[in-house]
Structure 1
């Protein structure tokens, strides 16, 4: 009986975490470049149920899960819609990067979620492009939020105040007013149609799920080599759009469904705990007294 009580309690905690994750997604539906988060649940080790079958040993009946827990939170790196803002300091990233199978030389046919499952069951994810910034401690970070601004010193800063890096890996200090310059699809700054020698550093994460969220739409590559960090090339299917911002990729309709599902599952586990509580109360106060 206590095993069922613990199983229901584990279910409640898992559904509460899923509810909090969906709530976070809904709260960031208007955040530029925000990537929705999905909670991944995993069951506790399964228990094999057996029945004694006389001298012949035991007979296998089946398996029973002993609970569930929220294992990890995974970002969904699908492309968000681009919306025009008219501000020269806003930049939107649009990418549909490809990755070739080293065995066949053909590009992987990624699905809408940016995932491809090989014949052996292994999963390959679509590479993703990011703006490259430097935090206040000098660490390199990555973001899809291109709502930048220029400070009094001419430095290009992100919405969180981080320094935006140029193609040379150094913080960008603009030599002209941003309102008088244009930025092409490769992130190069142009003045009167001519390159100024400055360029946004757009980085590509070949394995984006190796990135770690650091809050405010910023990601960290703990192991850049494992994440496959490299610079964007002219052959990559990615482009920078000045005067636009990438919106959140949160699906509000699906989020509301997930929210209600988590709530109903939480209530079901709550009812089970109440049932076990009443059963234990009856066992102790009535059956035990007899």
Structure 2
């Protein structure tokens, strides 16, 4: 009987976690460069099923398969597919076409992001608000003014002189990227500077969240959660009868 409780309770917790992940994706639909999360479920422990056969006075066991009575969320994977590119008309908005990340210095720690909704700080440096200064091939990018020219290779020109080139970095294995906040990543792996890239100016990359998919997933998880909750009530009723009625039989 307790096996049923474990199975249903773990299923409810798993579905609730899926709902939480989808809800967070939806809440970040308008976050530039945001990459959606996807729940990954796994077995929590397993049981070995054996087929028993009586051979004379000896009993032989033949392994058949492993099963698990509990499912749980192992982790949430980040889906790094490209979001749609949207023209904004703002001179300090940028979007990478294809693979790669912008690099931002956050108090000495380099963070990587697809969010190119930049600004120019009080000292004239290109910055990602609330995070830090955007990195070029020569370090922090000083423009001094929002009147500059831009080339798709990432070069920024002020008064006819190229001041720097927005650096774009990529990684061999995105599984080594750790999300520290929405749309921001760190990695212990040394990134590679992308030599040939395309960056659009006055454009940002929208999140890759699909509202329809997320809502469908939430509704499916809610139905599964409600079904498990109803079944759990039935198990509780049966358990109650077993304790209070069957125990009275003499």
Q: Do 1:5 and 1:272's aligned partners in 2 also have CA atoms closer than 8 Å?
A: no
Q: Do 2:142 and 2:163's aligned partners in 1 also have CA atoms closer than 8 Å?
A: no
Aligned residue runs from structure 1 range 216-235, under 5 A:
216-221=182-187, 223-225=188-190, 229-234=191-196
- Structure with a larger share of its residues in strand: 2
Q: Describe the SS at the equivalent of 1:262.
A: helix
1:81 to partner: Cα distance: 0.7
Q: Do 1:90 and 1:244's aligned partners in 2 also have CA atoms closer than 8 Å?
A: yes
Segments of 5+ residues of structure 1 without an aligned counterpart are 96-127
Q: Describe the SS at the equivalent of 1:214.
A: strand
Query: Structure 1, residues 85-137: CA drift from partner, whole Å, max 9, x if none?
Result: 00001111111xxxxxxxxxxxxxxxxxxxxxxxxxxxxxxxx30000011x3
Q: Cα RMSD (Å) of the superposition?
A: 1.7
Aligned residue runs from structure 1 range 52-201, under 5 A:
52-54=52-54, 55-58=58-61, 62-95=65-98, 128-135=99-106, 137-168=107-138, 170-174=139-143, 176-178=144-146, 180-191=147-158, 194-201=160-167
Q: Do 1:86 and 1:244's aligned partners in 2 also have CA atoms closer than 8 Å?
A: yes
If you compute each CA radius of gyration, which structure gives the higher value, 1 or 2?
A: 2
Q: Do 1:132 and 1:142's aligned partners in 2 also have CA atoms closer than 8 Å?
A: yes
Q: Which residue of 1 aligns with 2:172?
A: 206
Does 195-204 or 13-22 show the bigger shift? Answer: 195-204
1:167 to partner: Cα distance: 0.9
Q: Which residue of 1 aligns with 2:2?
A: 2
Q: Which residue of 1 aligns with 2:229?
A: 270
Give the aligned length.
246
Q: What's the TM-score once normalised by structure 1's chain length?
A: 0.80
Q: Do 2:37 and 2:77's aligned partners in 1 also have CA atoms closer than 8 Å?
A: yes
1:220 to partner: Cα distance: 0.5
Partner Cα distance (2:186, 2:2) in 1: 42
Q: Describe the SS at the equivalent of 1:39.
A: strand
Q: Do 1:160 and 1:216's aligned partners in 2 also have CA atoms closer than 8 Å?
A: no
1:80 to partner: Cα distance: 0.8
Q: Do 2:41 and 2:71's aligned partners in 1 also have CA atoms closer than 8 Å?
A: yes
Q: Do 1:188 and 1:195's aligned partners in 2 also have CA atoms closer than 8 Å?
A: no
Partner Cα distance (2:132, 2:163) in 1: 22
